[in-house]
Structure 1
Amino acid sequence: MKNLFKIAVFSSSLLLGVNSLAGVGQFEDETTTCYVLKNHKLVKKTVCTYDGSSGGAASGYAVFEATFYIKGYGKIDIVDNWFAEDNGKGGWKNEQSTTTIDGEKALQRNRDAKTLNILTDREVEKRSTAYSKLLQKSNGKTMPLQNWLTCYTNKKATNELCYIDNTPR
């Protein structure tokens, strides 16, 4: 969970901008590519829309709540919130998190966009570093994370949504 939070705060802080200490923004009718998997097998890949809110702060929270509308499939609701208090020693205390897919407990993970293989924390960190360098070269213009997918799955992997993360932050 701590690695996931570090990645979430790192990504959120990159995309929120250097001058911003905290923020949550609303978005609607955003378009991306969605992948629906059942038991690790792709059952639907299509353009989809989504709306919700996203943001965070290095002071101890990260928020992502969205509804995805998938043509020919229906809608999927995602909640991924994390809250904690600074322990004064460079860490966190009283951590609380909620991650759900359609109201069912879930976990967040990443997959390779071409192979759909699940990425390790090390692979995600390597790709995050590469993305950070690209972002710096683009003068702060946000770009979709095209080479990996953000995914949410229930514990049995019978319901999994993956998407190219181009959420405005």
Structure 2
Amino acid sequence: MLTAVTIRTVMRQCWAPQCGKWLSLWAVDNVTLESRRSRVATLHAVYGYLPWQAARFEQRVQETVRTQIMASDRPAPAVFERRHSKLAGTFYIGQVCPHCHVVQGDGHIGSTYDWERYRIPLREKLIFPETLLVAPHLCEDHGRGRCSQVPRPDGGRNFKVETFGWAVVSANDVNGEADPLPAKRGRR
């Protein structure tokens, strides 16, 4: 079960001259998972914000994250949308301005250094790809071999969260260094 994401966010003005409104660029920094046996682990993104990706984890959680950012004192969050790069000749998922829908430039976002980190709670079932489950590993509840994603009647866990491939795992760090988003302040 996915129980939280820690995001990095930074406030910027849209670079499009006809817009110039403030927005919140954001990216997932790590995720917190909880197993059926209540084991908790944090998966950290190894490479940070990689530009020009054909698919992004942010797409999966953007509805929840954007709702939380909108309820905070931060500007409207960018939207992750599929766009075409003429230069690269390929499609990618980029952050676009929520006001004018202009791409904000993955290369510039990737080189941003003044991010703030916030924890966003959520509850979502995380389905692992079958290719991950057939890789050689030691499964806690079935012994050696293939895991099952079908919940067990006894509530036991069928997979090891530590086998998730794109991240470094820490079983002790549960997003401890990230605060919740600041609450929206009243009008003055």
TM-score over 0.5 for the pair: no
Instruction: Choose between structure 1 and 2 for higher RCO, CA contacts under 8 A separated by at least 6 residues.
Output: 2
TM-score by length of 1: 0.29
Structure with higher helix content: 1
TM-score by length of 2: 0.27
Q: Which structure would you say has the larger Rg?
A: 2
